[in-house]
Amino acid sequence: MKKIIVLPMKGTVLLLFAVILIISTFALNIRNTYNRLQYGVPQGVYLGEILMEKKLQAEVTAIVEKESLIFLKRPRNAFLDPLTGQLIREVYGEKIDVRATVDMIMHGTPNTVYSPVIIPLEPEITVDIYRNITERKGSFATWYGNGGRAENIKLAAASINNYLLAPGEIFSFNQVTGHSKPGRGYQLAPIIVGNTVIPGYGGGVCQVSTTLYNAVLFADLEVVERFPHSRPVGYVPIGRDATVSDHLDFKFRNNTNKHILIKGAGGGYCVYFEIWSSP
């Protein structure tokens, strides 16, 4: 008589599961190999020094996106140096066109080395914009004394000098000049708080905002935000001042279709601003 070996039920199930797993893995490997041969990158295709053959589109996209972050060259706008007035030329940038590069690799010719498809990035501001600004639209000047107040006026005016404002853009005095703190060079000088005059850092900065406000009025630009002092000031007629503080700002909009350039400085006991634009 033949002897029949009966496996335990649990062992039979495990064996069956292992066989199914092996067959499934083998089938998946065959399918993956087929997909790569059928739909993957052709043989011998490189992106620079990276071998791309048999990679699927999702894998190629991930590689190209990673390369694009490394390759990115940001553009830089042309600008006027606020201290020297020197016109610094713009710098053009570049980035990888991810979609076009992926499409190129996926449909590449076998045994070919490709470079990424590059998109030039143009700066928003070029030297030509500055060179076309030749007409003064408005100006205003006020006079001041000396001491810490004079130093504060010079510092605030210098931070605005050669500021370029695009069409439709809003100028914020507080944002451009920053806070009047001693760490930024501002000194103690008289400031108006309510109906009282007390020492405070940045005293005199309101004369800068007021002078700029009047230049803006003569240039016929749109005033967006402006607050008067709580008491009259001596450097402009009543109603022509514009105070600023940590909570009060002076803002105006370039309501023209051209760039405007703000020139200003404090020196010789005079602070002045000029608004320039294209003819």
Measured CA to CA, the distance from residue 279 to residue 257 in angstroms comes to 12
147 and 191 housed in the same domain: yes
53 and 174 housed in the same domain: no
Q: Does residue 27 carry a pLDDT above 60?
A: no
120 and 155 housed in the same domain: no
pLDDT in tens, 238-270: 999 999 988 899 999 999 999 999 999 988 899
97 and 137 housed in the same domain: no
54 and 112 housed in the same domain: yes
Instruction: Count the domains in the chain.
Output: 2
Torsion of CA 172, 178, 181, 183, to 10 degrees: -170
Per-residue pLDDT, 208: 96
Question: Which residue among 100, 127, 154 closes a domain?
Answer: 127
Greater confidence (178 vs 25) lies with: 178
Q: With bands split at pLDDT 50, 70 and 90, how would you rate the model's confidence at 39?
A: confident
145 and 216 housed in the same domain: yes
Encode burial over 94-127: b for 16+ CB neighbours within 10 A, e otherwise: ebbebeebbebbbebeeeeebebbeeeeebebeb
Per-residue pLDDT, 166: 96
Least confident of 128-132, 168-172, 190-194: 190-194
Q: With bands split at pLDDT 50, 70 and 90, how would you rate the model's confidence at 196?
A: low
123 and 158 housed in the same domain: no
pLDDT in tens, 47-101: 999 999 999 999 999 999 999 999 999 999 999 987 788 999 999 999 999 999 9
Residue 50 lies in a domain: yes
Residue 31 lies in a domain: no
137 and 270 housed in the same domain: yes
pLDDT in tens, 94-134: 999 999 999 999 999 999 999 999 999 999 999 999 999 99
62 and 160 housed in the same domain: no
The domain in which residue 118 lies consists of 41-127
Residue 184 lies in a domain: yes
Q: Does residue 34 carry a pLDDT above 70?
A: no
Sheet containing strand 50-51, strands side by side: 50-51, 46-47, 113-114
Per-residue pLDDT, 16: 60
Residue 93 lies in a domain: yes
Calculate mean pLDDT across residues 129-147: 94
Residue 27 lies in a domain: no
Per-residue pLDDT, 197: 67
152 and 78 housed in the same domain: no
154 and 268 housed in the same domain: yes
Encode burial over 5-36: b for 16+ CB neighbours within 10 A, e otherwise: eeeeeeeeeeeeeeeeeeeeeeeeeeeeeeee
Question: Which residue among 105, 127, 149 closes a domain?
Answer: 127
Greater confidence (162 vs 18) lies with: 162
Q: With bands split at pLDDT 50, 70 and 90, how would you rate the model's confidence at 148?
A: confident
pTM of structure: 0.74
Residue 7 lies in a domain: no
Per-residue pLDDT, 210: 97
Residue 25 lies in a domain: no
Question: Which residue among 74, 92, 127 closes a domain?
Answer: 127
Residue 248 lies in a domain: yes
Q: How confident is the prediction for the chain on average, in pLDDT?
A: 87
- Sequence-distant (6+) residues with CB within 8 A of 235 are 142, 143, 144, 207, 210, 211
**What is the percent of the chain with per-residue pLDDT over 70, rounded to a whole number?**
81
pLDDT in tens, 204-220: 899 999 999 999 999 99
Q: Does residue 173 carry a pLDDT above 90?
A: yes
